[in-house]
Amino acid sequence: MVRKQPNTKQKKPATRASASASSPNNPLPTPSTTDDAPPQLSIPRQQRLLDLFAAAFAPALAAPSLPAELQAIKQALYLRDFAAAFGRPDRLAAYAARWSPTRALCYAGVFRSYLPAAAAAAAGGRTRMICVGGCAAEHVAFASYLEGAGGDLTLVDAAPWGEVAERLQEVIAAPPPLSSYASAAARAANGPLVEAGRLRPRVLQRDALRITDAEWAELLLAPAGDGAQVVVTLLFTLNELYTSGGVAATTRFLAALGAALPDAALLLVVDSPGSYSEAAVGKDSKRYPMQWLLHHTLTEQQAGAATAWRWTRLESHDSLWFRLSDQLTYPIQLENMRYQLHLYRIDKTPST
C-alpha cells in the first residue's frame, strides 16, 4: 500500500486472488504464464511518477469536496452513467488523481517489460502509441517508457480529457522542484521526465466504436518510410466495449484495427481478470470470457481468405498482481490492482 502523506496507520495489503479457470463451455486461450507479474519500476522511479500526479492534481487532492466527488463518480460508474462520471473536467481531475496513479505505475512496468525498448523501437522513427480509452495513466506510463526517446501519443476516449492531458504534460516536461539546499550536482542532474517536444500528446474525443474504417486507417497508418513502432492499447477498455457497445460492434472495431495497422504493430490488452470480464453472446446470452472473445475474433479474422494479415499472440496472462510498496507516498490512499494481460503482433502479407 502507498503511504498517505503525512504517514498514517497502514491497512493490511490486499490478499492475492487465484487465477480464473476455464471451463469446457467457456474455453480460454492457454496463457504463457499465470500470476508471474512483470518486474516493477524502481521505487525512486515509481515515486517520481506519483509526484507527477500529486503536482498535476494538487488542487483536486487538497479540495475538501474530494471525498464527495469520488463517491459521486463511483455511484455514477455503478449505474453505468458515464456522462455523469466523466462529463465534467473537475470530475475527470478527481478521477485521475485517485485511480490513475496505481494504473500508471502498473502500465509503466508493463510497457518496459513487454514492449520493445523505446530507443530501439524508434531507431527509424518515433514510437507511436494509440490508447483507446483512458488518458492520465496511459499518458504518464508512456512518458516513463520513452526514457528520453521521442514518441507520439494519441488518446482516444469519449470523455473530454484535454484539460487533464494538458496538466500532465506540463509537469512531465518540467524538472521536479528541488530543495533550496540541493547540491550543485543535484541541480545539474535535475531534469524533466521527458523533454518538451519529445513527447507529443493528442486527445481525440471520440467514441471508438463510432470511428469509421477510413478514419482508423488515417489514424493508424504511418507515412511511407516513417519506421515508427506502432502500439495500440486497450487498457481496461475492451471488456467495456464488449459490454456496452456489444460483441458485433466490438468485433467490427477489432477488424478495422487489423485492416488499418501497419506491419509488426502491437496490440496490448489489459483488463479486469476472471468473471469481472465477461460478455453475453447470442439469443441465450451465453457468457464468454473477454480474452476468449478477443482471441477468437483475431484468429477468425485471419482465417478469412481475403484477410492479408495474421495476429500472433506474444503474451497471455489471465491473472497478474501489481502491488504498491509501502515505501511510496501519495496524498491519499491507493490500492493494489489485479489484471489480465494479452499482447499480439500483427503480421501483414506482402502484396503480390
Domain limits, the chain: 43-175+193-348
CB 105 within 8 A of CB 338: no
Would you say domain 43-175+193-348 falls under CATH 3.40.50.150? yes
Q: Mean pLDDT throughout 143-166?
A: 94
- The bridge status of strand 278-281 relative to strand 266-271 is unpaired
How far is it, in rounded angstroms, from Cα 220 to Cα 223? 10
The runs of H, that is alpha helices, within 63-88 are 66-78, 82-86
| The predicted structure's pLDDT at residue 222 | 67
User: Would you say 151 and 200 are in contact if contact means Cβ atoms under 8 Å apart?
Assistant: yes
Smallest Cα–Cα separation from 333: which of 103, 140, 101? 101
Kindly state the average pLDDT of the residues 68-89.
Answer: 93
Does pLDDT of 303 surpass 70?
no
Average pLDDT score over residue span 81-86: 92
**pLDDT of 22:** 39
352/17 Cα distance (integer angstroms)? 50
Check: CB of residue 233 under 8 Å from CB of residue 268.
yes
Q: 32-36, 155-159, 316-320: lowest mean pLDDT where? A: 32-36
**What pLDDT is attached to residue 15?**
32
> How many helical (H) and strand (E) elements, i.e. helices and strands, does the chain have?
13, 11
Q: Which helix (H) or strand (E) holds 234?
A: strand 230-235
CB 140 within 8 A of CB 52: yes
* Mean pLDDT, rounded, of the chain: 85
Residue type at 283 in one-letter notation: K
User: What pLDDT sits at residue 18?
Assistant: 31
| Out of 142-146, 286-290, 306-310, 341-345, least confident range | 306-310
How many C-beta atoms surround the C-beta of residue 184 within 10 A?
7
Helices 162-172, 43-56: axis angle to 10 degrees equals 130
Return the pLDDT at 342: 97
At 31-62, the pLDDT tens digits run: 444 556 788 999 999 999 999 999 999 999 99
Name the residue among 283, 249, 281 with its Cα closest to residue 25: 281
What is the spatial distance between Cα 99 and Cα 17, in angstroms, rounded to a whole number? 20
| pTM (2 d.p.) | 0.87
The pLDDT of residue 184 is 82
pLDDT digits (tens, 9 = 90+) for 258-296: 999 999 999 999 999 976 677 777 666 778 899 999 999
Identify the band that residue 30 occupies on the pLDDT scale cut at 50, 70 and 90.
very low
Cell of 169: 504534460
- Grid coordinates of 83: 456522462
Is the pLDDT higher at 186 or at 336?
336
Q: In whole angstroms, give the CA distance from residue 198 to residue 212.
A: 30
Measured CA to CA, the distance from residue 149 to residue 151 in angstroms comes to 7
Output the pLDDT for position 35.
57
- Whether the pLDDT of residue 305 is over 60: the answer is no
Residues 343 and 326: their CA atoms lie apart, in Å, by 30
Higher pLDDT, 64 or 30: 64
For 213-261, the pLDDT digits (tens) are 999 999 987 665 567 889 999 999 999 999 889 999 999 999 999 999 9
pLDDT for res 8: 40
Compute the average pLDDT of residues 154-179: 94
Q: Which pLDDT score, from 0 to 100, does residue 120 have? A: 64
Among 262, 305, 310, CA closest to 121: 262
pLDDT at 123: 58
| pLDDT for position 1 | 59
